[in-house]
Structure 1
Amino acid sequence: MTGKLDQVFAALADPTRRAILSMLLEDDMAVTDVAHPFEMSLAAISKHLGVLTSAGLISQEKRGRVKWCKLEPDALRGASVWMQGFGQFEPVNLDAFERFLAVELSGPVMPPEAGE
């Protein structure tokens, strides 16, 4: 499970691959259509698609002479479950934390000495 999770997060780390996944949310697409909005070669897009396929995030299928890409949403389930584990903690109130730090860093307040 850890290896697959690592592959998913590695695939999601690249903005081009995230953009491709967003495009595939709409519908299956031919590889050439996936490549169209990007200013990179078809070979570079194919490498990105290979990473997404290896991670299980998409599948590729040849239909006639055209290769099609399809989103595989179940592949994100493991990553989603892993991230939800962090939801058990209360969100940090940064304003309250900043006030706490200001008090702690200002040091103890010394009472004025008698006779001053």
Structure 2
Amino acid sequence: APFRMSFAASAKHVRVLENAGLVRRKVHGRSHVIRLNPAPLAAADKWLRYYERFWRERLDTLEALIRAEDKAATRKRSRK
């Protein structure tokens, strides 16, 4: 077999993708043509990019605060 999963298993995966709106199926006689529906992926990408920026900014701020506190603590210790 050219694939490591059965036809039934792959058909089940395609159905899951269809139900999620990620692929579309067109039937031509006995042939089924499956096409990617990129719109939901674009929406997910937009959401992920927003939260990537959101968390990067907050983590950068946290890092700056920690570095400032470490620097202040180091100066305090060196004065003693």
TM interval, shorter chain, is 0.5 to 0.7
1:74 is matched with: 39
TM-score normalized by structure 2? 0.63
Q: 1:84, CA displacement in angstroms? A: 2.2
Identical aligned residues as a percent:
29
RMSD: 3.2
Q: Count residues in correspondence.
A: 72
Cα shift readout 1:22-44 (whole Å, capped 9, x = no counterpart):
xxxxxxxxxxxxxx4x3010000
What CA distance in whole angstroms lies between the structure 1 residues aligned with 2:35 and 2:79? 71
* 1:48-63 superposed matches below 5 A: 48-63=13-28
1:9 is matched with: none
Cα shift readout 1:59-88 (whole Å, capped 9, x = no counterpart):
111112111111111121221221121244
**3-state SS of the aligned residue for 1:47?**
helix
**3-state SS of the aligned residue for 1:109?**
helix
2:7 is matched with: 42
Tell me: higher relative CO, structure 1 or 2? Use CA pairs within 8 A at least 6 residues apart: 1
Higher helix share: 2
